[in-house]
Amino acid sequence: MYTVCVRDHFMIAHSFQGTTFGPAQRLHGATYVVDLELRRPELDPDGVVVDIGKASGCLRTVLDELNYRNLDEQPEFAGRNTTTEFLAQAIFNRIALRIEDGQLGLHATGLSAMRVTLHESHVAWAAYESVLP
């Protein structure tokens, strides 16, 4: 399996509901480093997994939708704890839609799997990974 990874970051504010989260129940900020891994069993006709520039641009576009936002105020996240795990899947889903729409190029249809990892710090991270349709 071949893999290409691109990295970016974004900053948000949010709060959590539930005693599990202790002081994080109050509004607080987070800065995430995001790794987007794209996988395929065979290289495309150009000899790559995917165009790295298009993958980087796609990730930046998705993160711009969240960057400098208070997620508690976003209707799509109403009533949800926007945990690192939850956000990894939300970003995954947004990128998967863009792959389906052809935004990563004609040969991106050969991608078989993707993993989105959000690093909260140098010692803690969470990810969401799945096969692509």
The radius of gyration computed from the CA coordinates of the chain, to the nearest angstrom, equals 16
pLDDT, position 129: 98
- Tell me the backbone φ, ψ of residue 75, rounded to 5 degrees: -55, -35
Say how far apart CA 109 and CA 50 lie, in whole Å. 10
What pTM value is reported for the model?
0.95
Q: Where residue 133 falls among pLDDT bands split at 50, 70, 90?
A: confident
List C-alpha distances in Å: 129 to 75, 91, 102. Answer: 25, 11, 20
Q: Which residues of 110-131 are buried (b: 16+ CB within 10 A; e: fewer)?
A: ebeebbbbbbeeeeebbbbeee
Q: In the chain, what percentage of residues exceed pLDDT 70?
A: 100
Average pLDDT over residues 86-111: 96
- Each residue's pLDDT tens digit, 34-49: 999 999 999 999 999 9
Say how far apart CA 100 and CA 94 lie, in whole Å. 10
Say how far apart CA 96 and CA 94 lie, in whole Å. 5
Average pLDDT over residues 101-107: 93
pLDDT, position 92: 98
Check residues 133 and 64 and name the one with the higher pLDDT.
Answer: 64
Domains of the chain: 2-13+32-46+59-131 (3.30.479.10)
Q: In the chain, what percentage of residues exceed pLDDT 90?
A: 98
pLDDT, position 7: 98
Average pLDDT, the chain: 97
Q: Where residue 72 falls among pLDDT bands split at 50, 70, 90?
A: very high
